[in-house]
Structure formats: C-alpha cells, structure tokens
Amino acid sequence: MSSIRDVARIAGVSVATVSRALSMPEKVSAESLEKVHAAIAQVDYKPNMLARNFRSARSYAVVVLVPDIANPFYSLFIRALEDRAQQKGYAVLLGDTRGTHERELEYIRRVETRLADGIIQLRPSSEKSLNNIPADIPCVNACGCEYTTGPAIRIDNRAAAKTMVDYLISLGHKRIGVISGLKDNPHTVDRLEGYKDALRSAGIEFDRDLIAEGDFTMWSGLNAAFQFCNMKNRPTAVFSMNDEMAIGAMQTLKAQGIRIPEDMSITGFDDIAYAKYCDPSLTTISQPAEEMGKMAMDMLLRIIEGEPLSQTECVLPTEFIIRKSTAPVKIS
Amino acid sequence: MSSIRDVARIAGVSVATVSRALSMPEKVSAESLEKVHAAIAQVDYKPNMLARNFRSARSYAVVVLVPDIANPFYSLFIRALEDRAQQKGYAVLLGDTRGTHERELEYIRRVETRLADGIIQLRPSSEKSLNNIPADIPCVNACGCEYTTGPAIRIDNRAAAKTMVDYLISLGHKRIGVISGLKDNPHTVDRLEGYKDALRSAGIEFDRDLIAEGDFTMWSGLNAAFQFCNMKNRPTAVFSMNDEMAIGAMQTLKAQGIRIPEDMSITGFDDIAYAKYCDPSLTTISQPAEEMGKMAMDMLLRIIEGEPLSQTECVLPTEFIIRKSTAPVKIS
C-alpha cells in the first residue's frame, strides 16, 4: 500500500503540502494541487479521510430527516439531495424519523457531536408546530410551508390547493369532500386554506362534515373515503391532500360501486409515479421535488461553508396535471 | 459550553478515562463508564466524535448501495437497514447508484478512505455479473441471488418463481408470458429458471416469443405488454418479474380492452405497497424485506467488528399471496 510519503515524493512537494491538499485544498496553489492529485492517482494512494475530518472539524456529511422513506414522494427529494451532495463531496446520512421527535433528536445529536455538518428537514414545520432543531445548527427545510421559519424551499401550497378546487368547481362540483392530512400538519393547514379560498370565491359555504382526516398514507385514504360513501348527500368530487390517500380512497369508492369519475371525481397532490398508473389515472398537482432537493442542498452547503445566502426562502412553481379521475358533475 | 474537563471533574475520573470511555468504551470499567455517562448527561457535554473516529480509525457509518431509491421495494430494505444501524450506533450513508458502476466506485472509495466502515449491497450480483467491491472491504449483499459470492441474504428466487408459475398452470394456463428484468440481471436469470422448471414439470414447451424484456420499472412493463397484445396466439397469463412492471403492463392491457383477470391473468413479485391498491389487486410473491435488511446489517456489523460469522449465506422464506389479478383460464 502506498503512503503519503510516496505521493509527496512523486509530486515533488512536502508531506505537509499533500496533507493540506487533502484537508484544506483552498490553502494550496492550483499548481501543487494538480501535482498532488496526479501523484495520488499514479500510486493509488488511499488517504485516511478521518484525519482530514478531525483536523477540519468537519464530517462532510449531511443528515436528511425524512418522516417516512416508504413514501415515494420523499424518495424523489432524497434522490436529488443525494445527487447534489455527492457532486459537492458530501455524503447523505439517512435519518428516517418515522415521524417521531425522539428519532429526530438522535440525528440532531449527530450534528452536535460533529458526525454531520448540517440537516435537511423534509418534515414541514411552522412556528406553531414543534421544531426540535437548535438555531445554531445549519438546517434547511426542503419541503417547507407558508409559516416555516429559517431557510426553506417550498411551493405555494395554499395557491396550488385553490387551483385544484377551482378546477373542480369549474366542472360544476359544489359538494367537494376533502381527505386531509393530520390536522396539525402544516401542509394540511395550508392546503385547507386553499380549499376554503376556492369555495369563498365561488360563494359555496364551507361544510365541516365534508372533511375526512387521514395521515397521508394509502391506508388512511382508504378509511377516510368511507365517510363519503355513507353520507346521505354525498360529495360529487373529493380533493385529497396527497396522491397516496387518493389511491387508497379509489379502492373504497370502487368497492362501494361508485364509479370514478362518472359518479365521483377525485384529485391528488404531489404527482408520485403511481398517479399515472392508477385506474383511472389521477388529476393532481406536480411538485418540482428534484429542483427543490437540489436548491435545498445548495443552500445548506452555503450555510455550512459560511457563504452568504442571497435569499432564505424560495417558492417554486407547481404544475397542474389533468388526467382521467375528474369529470363534469352529473346532472341528476 | 461544557468541556471534557467538566465531565472528568463531576465523574471523579481523569480526562484520559473520559476520552477512553468515548472512543474505546470496552477498555473502561463498567463502573467508570456509568459515572462518565451520568456526568455527560448532567453537564450536557457534546463530545467531538470526529476525534473518536480518527483515533479508532472507524467512521461508524455504513454505505447502502441502492440501484434506484425511487423503487418502493428498496425503501422497505433501507428502512430496516437504517433502523438496525441506528440501534447499533452506526449511521447509514445513502449511495443511490442509479445502476451505474461509476457511482458504485465513488462509494467504494469512501470505504477505502475510511469515511465508511463497510457496504450493504442491494444490487443482486453473481460471479458472472460485474462486482466492483474489493474483497478486503466488509460487504454484505442484502438482496442476493443464487450465485452471489461472499456474505449474502437472499430468497430462493428460482423456487418462488416456480411456485407462481405452478399456480398459473393449476388454473389451466398453458401459454404464459413473462415480463423479465434485464437479461443479465441475476434475479432475471434465477426467476426465468423457475419459470422453465414449472413448464418442464407440466410438460409445456418453452417458447422464446413469450418472453418480453423490461428493466423492473413501471414504464418498461407498460411497453413490454404490447408484445403480448399484438400476438396472434396471445398468452392467457403473464408472469411479471416484479410488481412495478405488472402495474405498468396492466395499463397497456386495459387500454387494449383486455380484461384482467377475465381475458388475461397477471402476477407480480415483491409485494410492494401498491400491489394491494392497484386494480385488480395483484397476485404476487412477498419478500421479507424488513427481515432481510436487519439480518444483512447484523452480518455486516459483525464483519466490521471482527466477530466470527456463524453462516455467510442466509435464505429466507417468501410468501405467496393470491389476490384478484389471477383467474382460471377461459374455456373458449
């Protein structure tokens, strides 16, 4: 196995220069850096990067806190985050919190003890919702909401929800059910405001009985849909706050003999891969998850490296996608 | 901020003992260890664990190489791997290789330069398939195949495929199409053998025209299914080598007016969450992904920590799940 001395000898520089080239490349001339890298490649030297980490008090790793890795919406984010981190020489430490604060705290501890340099948060957070992350830890929310404090990338959840419900109203629907996420989830709050905005614009009164609570899983959507099946005055359309709950709800509706979209329209949110493949394919809102992930990672690495941020919040546009799960209301 | 000196003072031990308790706890008496931990908690000391890593030449991180994080089958593995690693004090570094050897090599480099202690491989590999990982790197394949070399957890792919095709034959199907993964993928090879075993047992001749190649994505399943729609002597059942391709194929078949299962049965493999929610729900093989992930992580940590392995290969049982996408062949 080749040593740092071999590299120094071949590059024609001192051992200290090789060491600096590995741990603080910004302090080495471009010319020396090139010689060192060429020599490393020539002798296939495998530096102990733990020494670099120790000297620079940097782990070159970032924790990604994800509420549920089994949700395909998050995998799109994670893929973009990992890709960007890799390009910049950082590793992604996966923090599947399963929605618990205890597991979030364990991962925050990793940053506090220097095993990671910062955090990407995928759980939406707001001032009202519990936010565990101490202010001195570099952190960016890649999936923020209207009230997220600190650096965040987000979409305009309220406006996107309004667009969707406006569309259902334009198809003649007046009784529009909602399958929401958990009541205190900031995305639920924002999207519910958008739903109410649309009703208000159209002069339709808000009816609390039309809100069925889920938790963003397919199973919860399947259960929530029963609330609508059993109603005397059934909604003719359902706005689900994500695609997974819409896909779960479809199974209940079909099993009850309710045809989609002839008897009931249904819409989702996120545009996960399955939204195109479910039957009927799902009208939904597409979030630019890849772009959001990249921007969030760039923002976090700037914070970690002490560079100034030009902006601490970035709101990206969504896309409204009409597929086959929606139709004009039946005239009965 | 409290220091290591504060901890030593309160615990009534030397600074060196606190340091050892953090980096080499096995060299400290249980009594001292307890005093140190109590003192750390009392003064809320946040040790620089990079020092521990440097001294122990250990990063306490494991790379998980995943071919495609967007595939929900892998997220079940990742969740189990992360959970187990977390319990044992290790972090999971996510390595989304997107099926490229270049990205695998970049992650292998992390282990070679001590930024990770070992690798969990989720890509099936065999002697015949390219395997980049040097023999001196601790590595376990959590998703192996019949010919995987080195420590591996796997199912019996060949037997599981035979079970599925036996079932289709028992329903009276004789022309059974296959949607395969890429030809050189070891899982494709193993599952195709199982398909052939079943045909052989039933005295049905193998027909190469009934094999449509996909790449384990929904989109490839959608495309592969056209091969069957356009055949003069159409298969009456299709064995898809994973659920995603089966779900993609369903869309093509339905669009061509082929009813599932009345006109054509279709089966999957893996039992991802959507297999229950697609329409009709999918008859499939369930892999114990959670158990496989846990066992693989345990095996890897034993190797990293220099403990002996009682076995280097472990074959776990699968479950055969009958849902609504399969039916007896139509008598025409």
Which of A41, A48, A35 is CA-nearest to residue A8? A35
The residues, any chain, with a CB within 8 Å of residue B14's CB and separated by 6 or more, are B8
Q: If you count them, how many residues does chain B have?
A: 332
Instruction: Provide the pLDDT for residue A281.
Output: 97
With contacts defined as CB-CB under 8 Å, which chain B residues touch A297? none
Residue B325 belongs to a domain: no
Indicate if B293 and B150 belong to the same structural domain.
Answer: yes
| A188 and A303 fall within a common domain | no
CB distance A96–B78 less than 8 Å?
yes
Query: What pLDDT, on a 0 to 100 scale, did the predictor assign at position A332?
Result: 63
The residues that bridge with B169 in the sheet, in sequence order, are none
Same domain, A72 and A111: yes
Chain B CB contacts of A78 below 8 Å: 69, 94, 96
Residues in chain A: 332
- The answer to whether B78 contacts A57, with C-beta atoms less than 8 Å apart, is no
Q: What is the C-alpha to C-alpha distance for residues B166 and B164, in angstroms, rounded to an integer?
A: 5
Whether A331 has a pLDDT exceeding 80, the answer reads: no
Is A243 found in the same domain as A182? yes
Of B317, B62, B67, B26, nearest in space to B215 by CA:
B67
Give yes or no: residues A23 and A130 share one domain.
no
Is residue A6 predicted with pLDDT exceeding 70? yes
Per residue, the 3-state secondary structure of B219-250, as one string, reads HHHHHHHHHHHCCCCCCCEEEECCHHHHHHHH
- Condensed to tens digits (0 to 9), the pLDDT of residues A262-299 reads 999 999 999 999 999 999 999 999 999 999 999 999 99
* Comparison of pLDDT for A45 and A191, the residue scoring more: A191
A78 touching B, CB under 8 A?
yes
Confidence of residue B332 (pLDDT cuts 50, 70, 90): low
pTM, to two decimals: 0.89
d(CA A15, CA A7): 8
Say yes or no: A309 contacts chain B, CB-CB below 8 A: no
Is the domain of A145 the same as that of A166?
no
Place of tokens 């969504």: A318
Query: Do A66 and A80 have their domain in common?
Result: yes
First and final C-alpha spacing in chain B: 82
Task: Measure in Å the smallest separation between the Cα of A98 and chain B Cα atoms.
Answer: 9
Q: Is the pLDDT of residue A128 over 70?
A: no
Q: In percent, how much of chain A has pLDDT > 70?
A: 98
pLDDT, position B49: 83
Q: Do A266 and A228 share a structural domain?
A: yes
Interface residue B37 vs chain A (CB under 8 A): no
pLDDT band (50, 70, 90) for residue A20: confident
Residue A162, in any domain of the structure = yes
Is position A52 within any domain?
no
Which of B53, B102, B119 is the best mutation test for A, with the most CBs of A within 10 A? Answer: B53
Sheet strands (E) in A106-213: 118-121, 139-141, 152-155, 176-180, 211-213
Overall average pLDDT of the A316-320 stretch: 97
Would you say residue B310 has pLDDT above 90? Answer: no
Mutate to test the interface with B, among A69, A111, A222, A272 (most CBs of B within 10 A): A69
Determine the Cα–Cα distance for residues A212 and A209; give it in Å rounded to an integer. Answer: 8
Q: Inform me whether the C-beta atom of residue A93 falls under 8 Å from chain B C-beta atoms.
A: yes
Q: What is the mean pLDDT of residues B187-208?
A: 97
Worst-scoring range by mean pLDDT, A287-291, A310-314, A328-332? A328-332
Q: Has residue A325 been placed in a domain?
A: no
CB contact B206 to A (< 8 Å): no
Asked if B47 is an interface residue toward chain A (Cβ–Cβ < 8 A), one would say: yes
Considering only residues A255 and A20, tell me which one the structure prediction assigns the higher pLDDT: A255
What is the average per-residue pLDDT within A208-235? 95
Give the separation between CA A32 and CA A198, rounded to whole angstroms. Answer: 63
Q: What's the confidence (pLDDT) of residue A131?
A: 64
Name the nearest CA neighbour of B98 among B128, B133, B122: B122
Q: Mention every residue, 6+ apart, whose C-beta is less than 8 A from residue B162.
A: B194, B195, B197, B198, B201
| CB of B79 less than 8 A from some CB of A | yes
Residue B129 pLDDT: 53
| pLDDT tier at A58, thresholds 50, 70, 90 | confident
Asked whether residue A213 falls in the same domain as residue A266, the answer is: yes
ipTM score of the complex? 0.86
Which 95-114 residues of chain B touch chain A by CB within 8 A?
A: 95-96, 103, 106, 109-110, 112-114
CB-nearest partner of A274 from B46, B79, B274? B274
- Helix, strand, or coil (residue A6): helix
CB B206 within 8 Å of CB B220: no
Contact A280, A254 (CB under 8 A): no
For A278-306, b/e burial (b = at least 16 CB within 10 A) is bbbbbbbbbbbbeebbbbbbebbbbbbee
Residue B235 pLDDT level (bands cut at 50, 70, 90): very high
Lowest model confidence (mean pLDDT) among A14-23, A120-129, A202-211, B231-240: A120-129
Do residues B262 and B327 make contact, with C-beta atoms less than 8 angstroms apart?
A: yes
Please list every residue in chain A whose beta carbon sits closer than 8 Å to the beta carbon of residue B46. Answer: 112-113
B53 domain residue, yes or no = no
Using CA atoms, how far apart are residues A276 and A318, in angstroms rounded to an integer? 17
In chain A, the number of structural domains is 3
Percentage of residues in chain B having pLDDT higher than 70: 98
* CATH at B187: 3.40.50.2300
Cβ–Cβ gap B47/A274 under 8 Å:
no
Across B201-226, average pLDDT:
96
Per-residue pLDDT for B196 more than 90? yes
Q: Which residues contact B29 (CB under 8 A, 6 or more apart)?
A: none
Does the pLDDT of residue A127 top 80, yes or no? no
Residue A46 CB contacts under 8 Å (≥ 6 apart), including other chains: A1, B109, B112, B113
Among A97-101, A140-144, A265-269, whose mean pLDDT is lowest?
Answer: A97-101
Q: What is the pLDDT of residue B128?
A: 53
Q: Classify B330 as helix, strand or coil.
A: coil
As a whole-number percent, the residues of chain A with pLDDT over 90 amount to 70
Buried-state track B179-217, b at ≥16 Cβ within 10 A, e below 16: bbbeeebbbbbbbbbbbbbbbeeeebeeeeebbbbbbbb
- Between B95-104, B166-175, B224-233, B256-265, the lowest mean confidence (pLDDT) is in B95-104
Instruction: For chain A, positions 118-177, list CB contacts with chain B under 8 A.
Output: none
Mean residue pLDDT across chain B: 92
For A221, the 3-state DSSP assignment is helix
Q: Give the Cα separation of A281 and B230 in Å (integer).
A: 24
Give residue B41's domain range: 4-47
> Do both B64 and B17 map to the same domain?
no
CB pairs under 8 A between A and B: 140
Q: Is residue A330 part of a domain?
A: no
On whether residue B328 sits in a domain, the answer given is no
Helix axes B49-56, A49-56, angle to 10 degrees: 150
In a domain, A133, yes or no: yes
Share of chain B above pLDDT 90, in %: 70
First to last CA, chain A: 81
B86 shares contact with chain A (CB less than 8 Å) = yes
Q: How far off is chain A from B172, nearest CA to CA, in Å? A: 28
B312–chain A Cβ distance below 8 A for any pair: no
- Which region among A49-63, A167-181, A259-273 has the lowest average model confidence (pLDDT)? A49-63
Q: Is the pLDDT of residue A324 over 90?
A: yes
A280 and A164 together in one domain = yes
Query: What is the per-residue pLDDT for B98?
Result: 85
Alpha-carbon distance A117 to A139, whole Å? 9
Given B246, B267, B286, the domain boundary residue is B286
- pLDDT at residue B130, as a whole number: 52
Interval B27-72: pLDDT, tens: 889 999 999 989 988 888 888 888 888 888 889 999 999 988 888 8
- Which of A76, A94, A218 lies at the smallest CB-CB distance from B82? A94
Based on the fold, state whether residues A161 and A110 are members of the same structural domain.
no
